[in-house]
């Protein structure tokens, strides 16, 4: 079989490595992939948002199955376009991907179906938002409605910051049309947990829980990034919390999407905060998290391709989805200076014996030489019996990987270990 994976980061590398375990698959194409993914898939120079070129490639190459991994092509309707050509896909269609594509949609959905989340107001012009902020409780959280490369959420610790956020999103159009509407919501506190789930629109199967580390520097300081490391499972996600999430969040969300005529099929990511009043939804994503996939998928014991096809064919309830009774840690090696400015083009050396543990995000091939080409360069994942062992093993491997300007946080997993 020929399988195509749309996307080109560490998450896609993790998906591709896992798919390779299935012997029915002969060839995996990555669109566009990257220099590191090229070891595991045939990379095709088509951007993940170029839907015409993606569909054209899939038809001409008789692709049997497609996995659409990133948010933008999903929100643009990549799955709809491929399905029109009779190509089965893993990923939600455009109608369902709106759960991530519009925060106004997702907040209204949660309100309508009584799914626990932060209290909120929606605004479609700056003056109403500024008027509301005169008396809103501070800190407050301002969110652009649409996709904003993970930068559309601003936590304001003063009224001035809140006003400035509104003006930059709504007046200066910092995120373009994504900021035509905004959500202003209650600031919540508590440990955060990411729960990715498989769902075919009827059944929902949560994967092992995980924890992201979004800030660039140790102790959760510095700027927000695409994620500097992850661990799984997340110790704050106890059996009790998991049961409550299933009853009050996961099942109601799947049911709500069906009732709205937008059945969700694919990976639904629940970004949760465990508050004193119980778990609440911070955000939904319509896809695997990055770098959550780099710890969750290595712990998946079942065959990923089998599970994905059961989602597409709406028979997930008949499939066994099992995770290893172990822990995983992923440390991201980035270019010094990320997420602002950084140099790239440096040679990367990775010892052969740890290639299997690396998930490449930002590197390109220059002949046979792998060179840095992005802020987040690669993730290194270790799976061990305990989280402590996984974290130290991941850091040991990081020491054996070399490139100029290499930077990583030194405290991935520390909070999780302290929570135990
Ligand atoms: P996002 O870009 O949607 O992933 O959000 C970025 C981060 O903002 C989340 O991981 C949370 O840490 C934080 N955040 C979002 N909403 C809230 C909220 N209502 N209260 C506190 N923190 C929040
Ligand atoms: N790691 C957070 C995300 O994928 O959105």
Neighbour-count burial for 196-207, b at 16+ CB within 10 Å, e otherwise: bbbbbbebbbbb
**Residue-wise pLDDT tens digits, 271-283:** 999 999 999 999 9
Q: For ligand 1, say whether the CB of 58 is within 6 Å of any of its atoms.
A: no
47-53, long-range: CB within 8 Å, 24+ apart, which pairs? 48/6, 48/7, 48/8, 48/72, 48/73, 49/73, 49/76, 51/76, 51/77, 51/78, 51/81
From the CA of 187, how far away is ligand 1's center (Å)? 9
Residue nearest to atom 3 of ligand 2 (CA): 289
Q: Enter the pTM of the model.
A: 0.97
Q: Which two tokens stand for residue 330?
A: 């992923």
Quickly list DSSP for 182-251.
EEEEE---S-EEEEEEEE-SS-EEE---BEE--EEEGGGEEEE-S-SEEEES-TT--HHHHHHHIIIIIH
From the CA of 153, how far away is ligand 1's center (Å)? 6
Residue nearest to atom 2 of ligand 2 (CA): 289
**Nearest ligand atom owner, CA of 212:** 2
Q: For ligand 2, say whether the CB of 71 is within 6 Å of any of its atoms.
A: no
From the CA of 291, how far away is ligand 2's center (Å)? 7
Please check whether residue 377 is in contact with residue 354, taking contact to mean a CB–CB distance below 8 angstroms. no
From the CA of 398, how far away is ligand 1's center (Å)? 29
Q: Is the peptide bond before 216 cis (omega within 30 degrees of 0)?
A: no
Among 110, 283, 285, 292, residue to substitute to test ligand 1 (most atoms within 8 Å of Cβ): 283
Residue nearest to atom 8 of ligand 1 (CA): 153
Please check whether residue 183 is in contact with residue 121, taking contact to mean a CB–CB distance below 8 angstroms. yes
**Nearest ligand atom owner, CA of 150:** 1
Q: Is 314 left (phi over 0), alpha (psi -120 to 50) or beta?
A: left
pLDDT at 420: 66
Block means of pLDDT (10 residues each) for the chain, 420 residues, are 98 98 98 98 98 98 98 98 98 98 98 98 96 96 92 93 95 93 97 98 98 96 94 98 98 98 98 98 98 98 98 98 98 96 97 97 97 97 98 98 98 93
What are the φ/ψ torsions at residue 171 (nearest 5 degrees)?
-90, -50
**Residue-wise pLDDT tens digits, 204-243:** 999 999 999 999 999 999 998 989 999 999 999 999 999 9
Q: Which two tokens stand for residue 179?
A: 């900021």
Which one-letter DSSP state was computed for residue 280? E
What distances in angstroms separate CA 407 from CA 44, 165, 364, 376, 378, one per listed residue?
29, 30, 18, 9, 11
Among 14, 196, 290, residue to substitute to test ligand 2 (most atoms within 8 Å of Cβ): 290
Find the angle CA(304)-CA(230)-CA(39) to the nearest 5 degrees: 50
pLDDT at 149: 82
**Residue-wise pLDDT tens digits, 310-347:** 999 999 999 999 999 999 999 999 999 999 999 999 99
Helices and strands: H and E segment counts in the chain? 14, 23
**Nearest ligand atom owner, CA of 289:** 2
**Nearest ligand atom owner, CA of 290:** 2
Q: What does DSSP say about strands 327-335 and 376-384: parallel, antiparallel, or unpaired?
A: antiparallel
Q: For ligand 2, say whether the CB of 339 is within 6 Å of any of its atoms.
A: no
């Amino acid at each position: 079989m020929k399988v195509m994976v749309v996307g080109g980061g560490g998450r896609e590398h993790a998906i591709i490595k896992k798919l390779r375990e299935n012997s029915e698959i002969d060839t995996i194409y990555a669109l566009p992939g990257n220099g590191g993914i090229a070891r595991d898939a045939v990379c095709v120079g088509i951007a993940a948002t170029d839907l015409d070129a993606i569909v054209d490639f899939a038809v001409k190459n008789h692709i049997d199955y497609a996995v659409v991994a990133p948010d933008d092509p999903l929100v643009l309707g990549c799955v709809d376009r491929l399905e029109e050509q009779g190509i089965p896909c893993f990923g939600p269609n455009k109608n369902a991907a709106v759960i991530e594509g519009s925060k106004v949609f997702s907040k209204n959905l949660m309100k309508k179906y009584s799914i626990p989340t932060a209290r909120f107001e929606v605004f479609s012009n700056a003056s109403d938002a500024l008027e509301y902020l005169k008396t809103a409780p501070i800190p407050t959280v301002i969110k652009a409605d649409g996709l904003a490369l993970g930068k559309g959420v601003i936590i304001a610790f003063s009224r001035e910051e809140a006003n400035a956020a509104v003006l930059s999103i709504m007046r200066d159009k910092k995120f373009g049309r994504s900021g035509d509407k905004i959500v202003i919501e209650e600031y919540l506190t508590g440990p955060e947990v990411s729960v990715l789930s498989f769902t075919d629109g009827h059944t929902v199967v949560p994967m092992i829980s995980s924890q992201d580390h979004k800030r660039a520097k140790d102790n959760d300081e510095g700027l927000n990034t695409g994620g500097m490391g992850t661990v799984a499972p997340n110790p704050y996600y106890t059996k009790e919390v998991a049961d409550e999430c299933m009853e009050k969040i996961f099942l109601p969300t799947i049911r709500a999407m069906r009732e709205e005529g937008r059945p969700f099929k694919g990976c639904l990511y629940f970004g949760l905060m465990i508050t004193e009043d119980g778990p609440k939804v911070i955000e939904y994503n319509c896809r695997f998290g990055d770098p959550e996939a780099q710890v969750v998928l290595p712990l998946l014991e079942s065959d990923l391709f089998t599970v994905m096809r059961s989602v597409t064919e709406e028979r997930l309830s008949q499939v066994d989805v099992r995770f290893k009774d172990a822990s995983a840690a992923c440390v991201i090696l980035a270019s010094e200076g990320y997420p602002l400015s950084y140099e790239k083009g440096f040679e990367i050396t990775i010892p052969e014996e740890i290639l299997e543990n690396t998930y490449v995000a930002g590197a390109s091939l220059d002949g046979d030489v792998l060179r840095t080409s992005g802020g987040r360069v690669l993730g290194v994942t270790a799976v061990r019996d305990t989280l402590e062992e996984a974290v130290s093993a991941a850091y040991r491997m990081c020491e054996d990987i070399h490139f100029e300007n290499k930077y990583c946080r030194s405290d991935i997993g520390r909070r999780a270990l302290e929570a135990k």
